[in-house]
Amino acid sequence: MNIEIAEVQTPVGQIEIAVRDGKLCSLDFEARRGLLRDRLARRFGEVELRPLPVRDSMIGRLHDYFRGDLEALDPIEVETGGTEFQRAVWSQLRRIPVGETASYSEIAAAIRAPGAVRAVGTANGANPVGIVIPCHRVIRSDGDLGGYGGGVENKKKLLERERAG
């Protein structure tokens, strides 16, 4: 199976993206570099990684987002895999408006699983396409930022960028 990949320099560091059949299937920060092939192989079986053309619209949309067009990521189609519960969480995350946040408990309530706050946190952490599925917009009920796979400092930068936009 062919998957196209690219490294994109952003204000929050270099990110690596993977695209399968025109859909974003992975977005990772530099800290997780080198793990992409293994993660994709677990999801899709044997993969052949090829370069994503520099002028691809996916790369353009990421650049547009970081230049201030905070709605630029909305039309990106994603292929996340995951369980039904994870997909429900990730779908709800895409409903959090730019510049706003929601707590893990609010996400749990919104997907009609109010007792599953920890499971929401686990699903949030397993999000394969961060930023596009905006897991950085999820915070703890006490207002603390909580964790973030791309680093808490990057989470803070992304939220500040969106609130300023």
Half-sphere exposure of 77 (CA within 13 A, CB side): 5
Q: How far apart are the first and last CA of the chain?
A: 39
Say whether 135 is catalytic: yes
Tell me how far apart the alpha carbons of residues 108 and 99 are, in angstroms, rounded to a whole number: 20
Q: Enumerate the β-bridge partners of residue 76.
A: none
Environment class of 104 (CB within 10 Å of its CB; exposed 0-12, middle 13-18, buried 19+): buried
CATH of region 84-164:
1.10.10.10
**pLDDT truncated to tens, each residue of the chain (165 aa)?**
899 999 999 999 999 999 999 999 999 987 566 688 888 999 999 999 999 998 889 999 999 999 999 999 999 999 999 999 999 999 999 999 999 999 999 999 999 999 999 999 999 999 999 999 999 999 999 999 988 888 899 999 999 999 986
Tell me how far apart the alpha carbons of residues 27 and 13 are, in angstroms, rounded to a whole number: 12
Residue recorded with tokens 């993660």: 39
Tell me how far apart the alpha carbons of residues 40 and 42 are, in angstroms, rounded to a whole number: 5
pTM: 0.92
pLDDT at 149: 84
User: Hey, what amino acid is at 32?
Assistant: R
Structure tokens at 31: 């800290």
pLDDT in tens, 111-133: 999 999 999 999 999 999 999 99
Secondary structure of residue 62 in the 3-state scheme: helix
Structural domain boundaries in the chain: 2-66, 84-164
Query: Which among 18, 135, 139, 159 is annotated as catalytic?
Result: 135
Structure tokens at 80: 């996340």
Residue recorded with tokens 């969106």: 162
